[in-house]
Amino acid sequence: MTGTHRMIMLTIANNAAETLPRTISSVLKQKHKNLVYYICDNGSNDNTGAIIADYARNDKRVVPIPFKANRWRLIELISTIILEHTEGFFALLDADDEYKPGFLNKMLPFVTENGLDLAVCGIESVNAVTGEVISRKELGYDLILEGRDFLDKFTVYRRFVYDIWGKVYRIPALRNAYINYMRSEFATDGIGRNFELFNYSVLKTSERVGIFGESLHKYYVSPASQSTGFFPGQIEGSVSVYHAAREFLLSFGPMEKVNQDYLYAIYLGQISQVLDRLYATYMSVDAKFPYIDEIMGLEITKEMLAHEADPRFENLAVRAGFIAGINAWLAKNGGKVVL
């Protein structure tokens, strides 16, 4: 593959010296010549910066991004890059993950031949300690979405589009999505699930989206992952994701019951995860009670618990277990049961 289309890739690294060479190598081994690979050392105190500098000296495709005093936010870096590059395609890769060798060789033709604004591949989750594949999220066939497909096939494609990994964005569509996102109510500092919210802006500005049936991205799951901690914005983020998804679906027509059920199931799954992180976080028990009260007092939580849902959404079918789990934790820690 000669690589006629400009491909822009970005990695942000912080104290990633142990995994970064694997990540960088997986990008540079892609059979695509027209590649610009930005790598940012975002305040590391190990030799991450030296690794980036060494690769940049030996490969002109690698472009180091200098650290700044208050550190880069990922959305800020994306905006900087897409303002500089107005055409071509864009992809992200975390500093401990990797793309399989055929990622660009398969994804770029998939994008261009189908006229896509966004292409998504499947993802393998890998145990970072043992290297064992934990799970594989892939469709098994290619799916092209346009028009009412976004409404009718939401339960099929949503699990592939909520994060930012394993994706190729067409830069003009990405620019429009960024502008719309920054104008939206969801572009708030400290909110959780901000990239899922950002991707709904991408979907809103995309005419055609494709799900590639194969897994081409390897996501390494580490016990020390920062994504396992609790912060209050995760509650707001879960609520915002529900509203962003609902707003997106309503743009294509009336809400179908199966999609409404699915939105409640997504919300329940996300808020259950938030509660698990809250229980485990280093915070006094008394400081945790108000967050539980906040979650249970939300209108969406009340609606979700009262909603008669399709039994295919298993977590909604066992909502009594959700309440029982909260009450068991409260009883153990001297709190008042919620229902």
User: 326 in a domain, yes or no?
Assistant: yes
- The angle, 0 to 180 degrees and rounded to 10, between the axes of the packed helices 194-204 and 171-183 is 120
Cα distances (angstroms) measured from residue 17 to each of 54, 80, 192, 218: 12, 25, 27, 18
Domain tally, the chain: 2
pLDDT tens over the chain, length 339 residues: 445 789 999 999 989 999 999 999 999 999 888 999 999 998 888 999 999 999 999 999 999 997 765 567 788 888 888 888 989 999 999 999 999 999 999 999 999 999 999 999 999 999 999 999 999 999 999 999 999 999 999 999 999 998 889 999 999 999 998 888 887 776 666 677 888 989 999 999 999 999 999 999 999 988 655 456 888 889 999 999 999 999 999 999 999 999 999 999 999 999 999 999 999 998 899 999 999 999 999 999 999 999 988 888 888 888 989 999 999 999 999 877 776
Residue 339 within any structural domain of the chain: no
**pTM of whole model > 0.75?**
yes
- In this structure, are 117 and 132 located in the same domain? yes
Sign of the four-CA dihedral 272, 273, 274, 280: positive
Q: Are residues 127 and 212 in the same domain?
A: yes
Provide the residue range defining the domain that includes 324: 229-332
Determine, yes or no, domain membership for 2: no
Q: Which CATH number belongs to the domain containing residue 149 in this structure?
A: 3.90.550.10
Provide the terminal-to-terminal Cα distance of the chain, rounded to the nearest Å.
Answer: 61
Q: Could you tell me if 219 and 239 lie in one domain?
A: no
